[in-house]
């Protein structure tokens, strides 16, 4: 019996040199998408950096460094570059980013990269965006952490201008451009922008500006209410979540009952991001059989 929802595969746990191959196997096994994610630059000068990680914050004094499955030296590939490599090595699997820290980027440069990937993949990109949680990453990239929410909102609007206006033009607090040329446009109209996060502000942003949500299933009722209040209750809107572990068949069924349409699963236990090797490909095949994907 097929799983009750679409399944994406979280590929970032695999060694960088195996991520394209992992996505090819995921396509063969019937996964709907291959999903990457990112951190740009975490601090090495602060031994307590991990305490700012949302899970550690939630656990408070009960938190240990083990709640974080990565460290400042973990091997993160740029998600759009690895997905471009996957696009050229696959035919139908969708390409997901969850999440892309959009406020760390310039809108026009990001729009060019995102549109290029959608064109080269023949319209297979799902772009999950979020603020991130590390103030250091904002500092290292010359961005203002205190204005991250405003910049996120404006960057999404500027992307839409580039993607949807014949001669894009935008005049705001962070960006002032156009009219200008911007070709090619993304194949998907609209290109799906999913808002990620675990806060009330992220939920409201998804309802105002997103084509979907990439976050906790518990947020779904509130987002649906916010969509209705914004007059968007009948618009297409997708609900995705991510599991940092091998979700069982029963867990997937429970997610579907809560309204989740896609679960991005991490079928591996223990270890650190970017360190899983050849044996994990066999684990992936076993997991696909266990949940009824094959």
DSSP conformation letters of 27-93: HHHT-SEEEE-------SS-TTGGGGSHHHHHHGGG--GGG-S--TTS-PPPHHHHHHHHHHH-SS-
Domains of the chain: total:
1
Binned at pLDDT 50, 70 and 90, residue 59 comes out as: confident
Identify whether 27 is part of a domain.
Answer: yes
Q: Quote the pLDDT of residue 258.
A: 97
- The string of pLDDT tens digits covering residues 98-133 is 999 999 999 999 999 999 999 999 999 999 999 999
pTM assigned to the model:
0.95
Identify whether 1 is part of a domain.
Answer: no
Backbone angles phi, psi at 275, to 5 degrees: -115, 0
Give 39's contacts (C-beta < 8 A, 6+ positions apart).
70, 74, 76, 132, 134, 137
Over pLDDT 70: what percentage of the chain? 100
HSE-up of 125 (CA within 13 Å, CB side)?
A: 34
CATH code for the domain of 261:
3.20.20.30
Identify whether 214 is part of a domain.
Answer: yes
Identify whether 199 is part of a domain.
Answer: yes
For residue 17, which of 274, 286, 282 has the smallest C-alpha distance? 274
Identify whether 265 is part of a domain.
Answer: yes
For residue 4, which of 187, 258, 246, 272 has the smallest C-alpha distance? 258
Identify whether 179 is part of a domain.
Answer: yes
Which residue range is the domain that position 204 belongs to? Answer: 6-290
Identify whether 107 is part of a domain.
Answer: yes
Identify whether 273 is part of a domain.
Answer: yes
- The string of pLDDT tens digits covering residues 88-100 is 999 999 999 999 9
């Amino acid at each position: 019996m097929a799983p009750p929802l679409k399944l994406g595969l979280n590929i970032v746990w695999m060694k960088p040199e195996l991520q394209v191959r992992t996505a090819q196997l995921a396509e063969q096994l019937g996964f709907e998408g291959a999903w990457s994610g990112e951190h740009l630059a975490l601090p090495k000068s602060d031994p307590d950096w991990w305490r700012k990680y949302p899970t550690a914050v939630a656990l408070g004094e009960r938190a240990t460094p083990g709640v974080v499955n990565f460290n400042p030296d973990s091997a993160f590939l740029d998600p759009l570059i690895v997905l471009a490599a996957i696009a050229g090595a696959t035919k139908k699997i969708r390409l997901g980013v969850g999440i892309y820290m959009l406020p760390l980027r310039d809108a026009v440069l990001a729009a060019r990269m995102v549109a290029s990937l959608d064109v080269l993949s023949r319209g297979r990109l799902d772009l999950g965006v979020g603020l991130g949680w590390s103030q250091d990453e904002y500092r290292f990239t010359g961005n203002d952490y205190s204005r991250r929410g405003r910049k996120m909102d404006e960057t999404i609007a500027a992307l839409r201008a580039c993607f949807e206006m014949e001669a894009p033009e935008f005049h705001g607090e962070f960006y002032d451009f156009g009219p200008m040329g911007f070709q090619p446009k993304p194949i998907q109209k609209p290109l799906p922008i999913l808002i990620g996060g675990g806060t009330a502000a992220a939920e409201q942003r998804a309802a105002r500006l997103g084509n979907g949500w990439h976050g906790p299933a518990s947020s779904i009722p509130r987002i649906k209410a916010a969509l209705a209040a914004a007059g968007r209750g009948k618009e297409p809107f997708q609900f995705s979540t991510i599991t940092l572990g091998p979700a069982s068949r029963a867990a997937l069924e429970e997610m579907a009952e809560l309204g989740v349409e896609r679960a991005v699963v991490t079928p591996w236990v223990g270890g650190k991001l970017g360190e899983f090797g050849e044996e994990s490909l066999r684990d992936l095949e076993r997991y696909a059989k266990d949940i009824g994907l094959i």
